[in-house]
Structure formats: C-alpha cells, structure tokens
Structure 1
Amino acid sequence: MIHVVEDDAAVARLITGTLERFGYRHAVFPTGGEFLRQLRMQSPDLAILDLGLPDMDGMEVLQQVRGRHRFGLLIATGRDDTHDRVMGLELGADDYVVKPFEPRELIARVRSILRRYQPEPAACAQPPGVACFAGWTFERGTHRLVSPEGVEETLSLAESQLLIAFLERPNQILSREQLLAGRDVSALDRSIDLRVSRLRKRFEQGGHSGKFIKTVYGAGYLLAATVTWR
C-alpha cells in the first residue's frame, strides 16, 4: 500500500493514476493531520509526501514519521531548492522528486525505495557482524553506530546501506553506480552525493572528522580506513 499525501487534487490524480497503471494500491490524504492519524492504525509500505500541505509543513510530518515508523518515504515537491532537498534527506526521506515529474521517473524511484525495505531472502541474507574502523563501531544487524567515546545512534536504512558498501570495500574507489547498487536511479542523479554528505555529518558530530570518507573527483568516493569485522 502506498499513501499519497497531497492536497492538490490534480497532482494527486496524476500520481494515483500512475500508481494504478503499474499495479500499486494507494490511498490519498489531503492533509498531514489525516495522514498521521491513519498511521496510528496502519502503516504503508511507502508514502509519497508533498512538502506544501495546507495544515502543516511537510518537513514536520517527515520528522514525526521518522521518529516513530520505518517505511519508505519519497518527497514529491515543487520546491526546487537544494536546501529543502538536503533537509528532507537529513530528516530521513529516502529520495525526492521535483514537480513536474515524468511518471516513469516516479515509478523508478518508488520501485527503488520499495526494494530497500523488502527483507532479503533467507538464503541471501548477510550474516550479522560488527565492523570496527577509525575508532568507530557499526553493527550491521541493528544499524547501530558507536563513536570512539561510546555515544550510540541508529542510522536510517539508506545510511546503513551506504556505510556497509564502504565498509565491505575499504580503501577502494566506489563509483556512484556501485554505491547505488543497481537501483533504478540514473547514474547522473546527485542524490547519492547528498547521502554521502549526510553520512559524513554523522561522523563529524561531537568534534570528530568525517574526512576518512574521501571524494575522488571524477571517479566516486573512498573509505580511507582499516576495517575489521567480527
């Protein structure tokens, strides 16, 4: 089930019509309050969230959702402002699309997010493990990141997937395509750069340096650290 949180009836019809053509069930909520009340009874697999809602700012809705729920979140916004996009990703959105958008682009992003939240088949599931690097500790199974001083926090699913990609191949240049791990997102999409920036900020909290995640211009990114798994 996909929840569409959109007050513009014409845009809502465009989104739901596209979802129907590709076989996705959906429900529409014209206000943030109605959407949040529905979450008390049932969570969707993914929510498509407009930022310009009539009763509350979409960023506030996003913050409330990420504090209590774990499901896919795609921002669909008319705000063509990098600050809003970065803030949305930092608050826990999985991706964003700017209006007006092509229906095929919307579906590609919906599919990409839904795949991230699908449990892996048991035969392919990665064994739980703990990675130690540059004084930090990361638990694969719980997404828990522990600083050198013992401060703990839990990463989002998107952040964890990105960090695991670095930890599994340390001291190697990883292209944007490799970090996207074959998802249905254009290699020219810059959202991976925003995710790397957000991950760096996790390590910079408390006076630490996130410089061990290095940008290799024209090639991609590299984790410059020794990693041990246990």
Structure 2
Amino acid sequence: MTKPLVTILDDEPEIRRMLVDVLEEAGFATLSFGRARAFEAALAKHTPDVCLVDLSLPDTDGLTLVHRLALEQGAIVIIISGRSQVQDRVTGLELGADDYIIKPFDPAEVVARIRARLRNTKPAPQAGDTASFSGWTAHFDRYILEDDTGGETPFSHAEGEVLRLFLDSPKRLISRTQMQESLGGAASESFDRAMDVRISRLRTKLREDPKNPQLIKTIYGAGYIFLGDVSWA
C-alpha cells in the first residue's frame, strides 16, 4: 500500500526535521521545504495527500498560498502557525484551509489531526467519486462541478467535504453538531464561520439565489437541508 504523502512548508529547519521524523515514524512519506518557490515547484511533480503550511514565510504570503492550494490542489491543507489570534484562524479557514494548528504544538497532535482528516476523505457509502443532482455533476476525484452544458467550476477540498456531506444525506436535516462531528472540527465560533463561508461559496458555484437558495436550505436555529435528488456513480 502506498504511504500517504505529506508535504511540509516551514522556514524553520528544526520544525521541518521534527515533523519529518514523527510523520515518517507514523507511516507517512514526506517532502519538506523551507521556501514556497521550491514547494510549489515540487507540486508539479508530486500529488500530496496533505500539505502542512506555515503562514510566516520569507518569500510569499502564506495565506495567499493556502488559498491557491485550496482551489487548485486536491490535498488537505493544514496551517501550522505561531499566529494564535482568533481572526488569523478564522481567515485561514475561510480561505480554504482544513485545519489550523498553533505553534508550539505536540507532534503527536499533528499526526492525530492528519489521520483524522484522511479518515474524513473516505469515499461516500455509494462507493462513487461522481454524484449527479439537479443538472450538476460533482467530480470528487478532480474537485470539479460540471453543469449541464459541460462547463466546469473548481471547488476546494474543504468545500468538497461539505458538499459530500450534503450529497450523502439529501433531504435530511444536518445540524451544526453533526457537521462538526463529521468534519472533525472543534466546536467554536471560528468553525461555525468557516462552515458559513464554505456553504456560501458552494451556493455561489451552484448559481443559487443567495436570498432564496433552492438546493442548500438554511433551517434557522437547526442546521441545513440539501433538497436535490442525488445519484452516485
């Protein structure tokens, strides 16, 4: 079985070495980088399962890089940063990161969070990577939404987690608590705001009327319901 690949981008050599050691001992393959340019060049040759990204980088803005990774890569994106303010965490999650770990951290926590995120990316019970609904086809293997004319719109890994959750349980109420349990986030204001942003972006990509969405309905005080008929292939 191929080992999951974790790429590490952090300009501190000690942190890179520590993460490489603990992750390889835990059964992961790793590639580590101290500069964003080398990291991005490697992505042209390798397809990581998880990207660990520090925000304080010498040659690029970490948040911009996280946003680009979330849109263009199928990898799970986990921020590792010394920025501990709530707003920094919220911004990182809103830009598409799947998780946020604050320095200093316990290396075992990083391993546990990576494993939890990888468990959450298992295929849907219908065993497919493609779902059709209401004139749309979601390709989870390519992170693409295809409309009935063949037009394609990319979605991020984080948005895909939420979309798959809806498509797995159409026409059923999904509460905030269920979302938190299914997606592995910690119950918090930042988690709630991140979910709001992801759902808003999904509605935009599905061309929903923001004042009267027809597919993803908000049930105020209770959660959300996805109203489309779904078939998996």
TM-score by length of 1: 0.73
Q: Match of 1:9? A: 13
Task: Verify: 1:108 aligned to 2:112, yes or no.
Answer: yes
Q: How far apart are 1:26 and its partner, in Å?
A: 1.8
Structure 1 counterpart of 2:162, one-letter code? L
Q: How far apart are 1:32 and its partner, in Å?
A: 0.8
TM-score by length of 2: 0.73
CA distance in 1, matches of 2:204, 2:44: 35
SS of alignment partner, residue 174 of structure 2 = coil
Higher relative contact order (CA 8 A, sep 6+): 2
Q: Match of 1:23? A: 27
User: 8 Å contact 1:44–1:71 — kept in the other structure?
Assistant: yes
Q: How far apart are 1:33 and its partner, in Å?
A: 1.3
User: 8 Å contact 1:72–1:117 — kept in the other structure?
Assistant: no
CA distance in 2, matches of 1:127, 1:59: 29
* Unmatched segments (≥5 aa) in structure 1: none
Q: Match of 2:137? A: 139
Q: Match of 2:160? A: 160
Q: Match of 1:209? A: 210
User: 8 Å contact 2:78–2:101 — kept in the other structure?
Assistant: yes
SS of alignment partner, residue 140 of structure 1 = strand
Q: How far apart are 1:6 and its partner, in Å?
A: 0.7
Q: How far apart are 1:15 and its partner, in Å?
A: 2.5
Percentage of identical aligned residues: 26
* Unmatched segments (≥5 aa) in structure 2: none
CA distance in 2, matches of 1:78, 1:145: 39
CA distance in 1, matches of 2:71, 2:27: 30
Task: Verify: 1:95 aligned to 2:134, yes or no.
Answer: no
Q: Match of 1:174? A: 174
CA distance in 2, matches of 1:71, 1:46: 5
CA distance in 2, matches of 1:175, 1:207: 21
Residues matched between the structures, number: 220
Q: Match of 1:200? A: 200
Structure 2 counterpart of 1:214, one-letter code? T
* TM superposition outliers: structure 1 runs of 4+ over 4 Å: 180-190, 204-207
Q: How far apart are 1:116 and its partner, in Å?
A: 4.6
CA distance in 2, matches of 1:215, 1:226: 12
CA distance in 2, matches of 1:226, 1:171: 5
Map 1:51-130 onto structure 2 (within 5 A): 51-66=55-70, 68-117=72-121, 120=123, 125-126=127-128, 128-130=130-132
Q: Could you say if the C-alpha distance between residues 167 and 26 of structure 1 is closer, same or farther in structure 2, counting changes exceeding 3 Å?
A: closer
Q: Could you say if the C-alpha distance between residues 139 and 4 of structure 1 is closer, same or farther in structure 2, counting changes exceeding 3 Å?
A: same
Structure 1 counterpart of 2:20, one-letter code? T
**Higher mean C-alpha displacement, 173-182 vs 76-85:** 173-182
CA distance in 1, matches of 2:72, 2:224: 33
CA RMSD of aligned residues (A): 3.6
CA distance in 1, matches of 2:16, 2:74: 23
Q: How far apart are 1:215 and its partner, in Å?
A: 5.7
